[in-house]
Structure 1
Amino acid sequence: MKDPHVVIAGAGAMGCLFGGLLAERGLRVTLLARRQEHVAAIRERGLRIVGEGGERHVPIGAATSVDGLPPADIVLVQCKADATRIVSANVMPLMRKGSLAVSFQNGLGNEEIMAESLGDEAVLGGLTSLGATLEGPGVVRNYASLPTVVGELRGGLSTRVKDLAALMTAHGIPTRASEEILAEKWRKLMLNVAMSATSGLTGLTIGGVAGQPELSAVARRAMDEAAAVAEACGVSLPQETRYAIFDGIVASGAARNKTSMRRDIEAGRPSEVEAIYLSVIERGRARGVPTPTLDAFAALVLGLEAASGQI
């Protein structure tokens, strides 16, 4: 793909980090964001990246609407899960034959929603262990250099997935093409179910959660329940595998980060409780798998949001 245009649909922390890293290495990137002050700051000064890799300003396109934008060869969907349907419909006019749309969102079910507007053939699955926070309009902090994965939802390695992984790797985001992206997404979900509510409800960082023995034990119990649901869905996640994932993120630079669920709660925004917890709970109920810890996490987060007037 020669000189592709990459559109980042959802220029929050992770969207800005992805877009900034890709643009820094020469790709044509446009960030789509709702907040005018955020877009204005990026247009005026470039995107400022701090943290991992050092501080720098990256020139990059930014817009609040798709109006007037050139067609997109690659759309990276980075919005919150509850905005997936409307964001997918908004970027649909940018898609053309051969365009790709990749979800790098938390949880399960985002790709199915994207396909409603963009078509099954255009949609790929993705996941990343990168961590970021927005520190102000046009300023994003990168916490660690961690792997990213892309793949066909139906499984197998396609040429377009291998090409996309190579393109992203060559432009600052080390990416692997996976033959089993759905299984990979379940593995990533292990961290989400362990850390999202524990960090979100307490205000602790990922490392802080792991450093509290009682809280760490509950987080691992949530992983065990989600793994039982995954097993019922045909995805095997042995205990040593999921606990190794837990230990790996705790040992990385991402341990200094609070989860996106905590940032949503602090900002008074609806969280991704549906994609992270309710999606697993529903799959468990449909297959007769009990999820009491996940049920409690979801109920507490929903209760906190209700008390804060978020829903």
Structure 2
Amino acid sequence: MLRFDDLQLFVRAADLGSLSAAARVMDMSPAVASAALKRIEAQLGARLLARSTRSLRLTAEGEGFLEYARTALSSLDEGRRLLARGQDQVSGVLQLSAPSDFGRNLLLPWLDQFQREHPQLTVRLLLGDRIADLFRQPVDIALRYGEPEDSSLVALPVAPDNRRVLCASPAYLAHKGEPQQLEQLLQHNCLLYMLGTRVHDYWQFHDGKRELGLTVSGDRFSDDADVVRLWAVAGAGIAYKSWLDVAGDVQAGRLKVLLPELTCERAPLNMLCGHRAQLSKPVRLLRDMLSEQCGILSRSRNP
């Protein structure tokens, strides 16, 4: 297969009438240039340039091949320009995966606005709390809470300072009482989230001096984070949720934050992709928009 840089060298040498001049223009040594010319001639099975110590001229075969080489290089340059324009446009299909709770209650309205601003963009959205296999599932990017376990993935922070909060509905607190100390959670019905076979029943905190943690229990488990939120809003118990997921409920009075003096677990939101080539203009713009919106919600927790 002919190499792009070999074709460039041949055309430059023909235009300049000198292989050494072509080598200087292309920032390569005379030896490398000579090897490149020999390589293309060997691949074509024809001598393209007749060389002596003082002159260089096209052979008959070289004259015949020169225009084809120019055409090929021109076509490749045009193709590269088309790709560059395509990467700069906000169009095409954006395939992403997002957590169920964040996706339904925050991402959907934000995506609606994003598509109104970019009407040529098509969105394919997969919702679920399992870690998307970016090399097998039909997605370009995934939004996920927590630090990525796969070090081969590219992780871009969206809400790096997001944390969990303890929360419950006013109706539940009126019926069961509001816990004033962390240990009192053991007397309450805690709403538990599970991922795969793992139940997240060990809740961790920091009181400003030391790490605290306890194993809680309850009568409800779900592998859908939005179901846990809905149970909390319905008054079924106490939830330990990402602030982003319950900010709207807290602001509307449907949920109340408990033990606010404690610092809860980090729950950073990241945008994950398999490699940086997937960071197209739509992806970069989406990340900017999500970072801005999540920042507004984060500041509403700590104004």
Q: TM-score range by the shorter chain?
A: under 0.3
Higher Cα Rg, which structure: 2
Task: Point out the structure with the larger strand share.
Answer: 2
Q: Which has the higher helix share?
A: 1
Say which structure, 1 or 2, has more relative contact order (CA 8 Å, 6+ apart): 2
